[in-house]
């Protein structure tokens, strides 16, 4: 089977908060192995941390933070956003207005704009995801999406990659930037420094570093001039002299 190593996409946090936890091993870990170990890693990390929410983090009073979430130094979570289900926000992450982050890992200085929903997703350092982006983690072809069974599989240049789980969104590399109104996953690996234009829908594949992904949108629209409206000439008055 092909290999997807996390270290080819993500940079391990350097702030020190996760140094003594299993998350420090991410760069050496293969994706399918990480997905199978993730919950255990997170439990062990929580047990070792002196505080799961760093004192310098700024969390808006309307935000909802789960009891098992890890939040690093200088993180900002803005109005009406929810972070839950064992997510990790590394140092200097910014979560914008009305976002939903579920079972996800965000690397240092990653930015989520407003109205973003990501699920079971790994986001690299300094990635910037713009408004109205969704990362799905469950195949719609599962018989019952509330109890998913269909394994997430990615197409790679070396063949099919089996994630070993029916729930996986995306692996988004360091410094990836996106436009808005984008739908990703389930099952996607974007290399470092990729650019994803507005309107893209993408899933079940791997893309190399520095890829540029576009979709037909307004820049490809055809524009023509409407015929000028002709002024109607009044009919002659038959009673006129």
User: By C-alpha distance, which of 187, 190, 192 is closest to 162?
Assistant: 187
Beta bridge partners of 154: 161
Beta bridge partners of 153: 162
pLDDT digits (tens, 9 = 90+) for 41-92: 999 999 999 889 999 999 999 999 999 999 999 999 999 999 999 999 999 9
Q: Is residue 56 part of a domain?
A: yes
Q: If you search the block for the tokens 């972070």, which residue do you land on?
A: 83
Sorting pLDDT into bands at 50, 70 and 90, what band is 16? confident
Number of domains present in the structure of the chain? 1
Q: Is residue 152 part of a domain?
A: yes
pLDDT of 116 higher than 50: yes
Which residues have C-beta within 8 Å of that of residue 50, sequence separation ≥ 6? none
Q: Is residue 241 part of a domain?
A: no
Q: Is residue 108 part of a domain?
A: yes
Q: Is residue 165 part of a domain?
A: yes
Q: Is residue 131 part of a domain?
A: yes
Length of the chain: 241
Q: Is residue 64 part of a domain?
A: yes
Q: What is the pLDDT of residue 231?
A: 61
Instruction: Note down the domain range covering 57.
Output: 6-217
Q: Is residue 193 part of a domain?
A: yes
User: By C-alpha distance, which of 13, 118, 156, 122 is closest to 75?
Assistant: 13
Identify the CATH number of the domain in which residue 165 sits.
Answer: 2.160.10.10
Q: In what side-by-side order are the strands of the sheet with 182-184? A: 64-65, 82-84, 100-102, 117-119, 133-135, 182-184, 201-202
């Amino acid at each position: 089977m092909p290999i997807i190593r996390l270290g080819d996409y993500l940079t391990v946090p350097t702030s020190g908060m996760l140094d003594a936890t299993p998350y420090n091993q991410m760069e050496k870990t293969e994706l399918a192995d990480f997905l199978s170990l993730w919950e255990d890693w997170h439990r062990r990390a929580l047990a070792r941390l002196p505080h799961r929410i760093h004192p310098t983090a700024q969390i808006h009073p309307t935000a909802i933070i789960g009891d098992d979430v890890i939040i690093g130094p200088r993180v900002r979570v803005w109005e009406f956003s929810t972070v839950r289900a064992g997510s990790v926000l590394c140092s200097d992450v910014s979560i914008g207005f009305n976002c939903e982050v579920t079972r996800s890992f965000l690397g240092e200085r990653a930015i989520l704009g407003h109205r973003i929903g990501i699920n079971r997703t790994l986001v690299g350092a300094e990635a910037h995801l713009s408004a109205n982006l969704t990362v799905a983690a469950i195949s719609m072809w599962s018989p019952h999406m509330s109890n998913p069974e269909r394994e997430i599989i990615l197409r790679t240049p070396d063949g099919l990659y089996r994630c070993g789980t029916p729930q996986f969104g995306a692996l988004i590399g360091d410094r990836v930037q996106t436009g808005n109104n984008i739908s990703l996953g389930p099952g996607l690996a974007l290399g470092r420094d990729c650019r994803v234009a507005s309107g893209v829908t993408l899933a079940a594949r791997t893309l190399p570093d520095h890829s540029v992904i576009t979709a037909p949108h307004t820049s490809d629209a055809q524009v023509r001039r409407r015929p000028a409206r002709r002024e109607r000439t009044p009919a002659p008055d038959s009673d006129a002299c």
